Structure 1
């Protein structure tokens, strides 16, 4: 079984026929409805602030990140652990650069 076939993954693959507006709305929803509150706060606030300005290629990076486990995403974003090399791209760096303490106050 591939990791994208695992239970809980809503987006098994990127749909190139989906309009950019629908895609951004879907990704915002998925960012705010992850499964653990920490991931909701990190990814939801990021999505609200940045998804509208991301290119399609950057949206691909972000959508692939959303397929990862919440506990891994939170650890990578908060720099508790380094992300795998294939996920340590410009979107991960942008996620890691945000001051989330200002957001949750």
Structure 2
């Protein structure tokens, strides 16, 4: 997302990815830069829903301390984790 001028929607998403935990900020900002554009519409909607989760829950999901019972969320978390490692 940094290679192109940001739209208002991009700016809102980047703002929503700012969290109270530095670790989450780093994970989510890195994903926006490296992997967000690979998401389809459904995955983007899931990410939007995930951003409503409490910080600790997101942190546990991204670290693998817990796995979502929602298969689609679990796949998205896996995709995010893989994207930021690449």
Give me the TM-score of the superposition, normalised by structure 1. Answer: 0.62
Q: Give unpaired runs (5+ residues) of structure 2.
A: 1-6
**CA distance in 2 between partners of 1:54 and 1:85 (Å):** 17
Partner of residue 70, structure 1: 55
Q: Give unpaired runs (5+ residues) of structure 1.
A: 1-20
Aligned residues: 78
Q: Kindly name which structure, 1 or 2, has the bigger radius of gyration based on alpha carbons.
A: 1
Indicate the structure whose relative CO is greater, using CA pairs within 8 Å and at least 6 residues apart: 2
Give me the TM-score of the superposition, normalised by structure 2. Answer: 0.73
Give the alignment's Cα RMSD to 1 decimal.
2.0
Name the structure with the higher helix share.
Answer: 2
How far the C-alpha of 1:83 sits from its partner, in A, is: 2.1
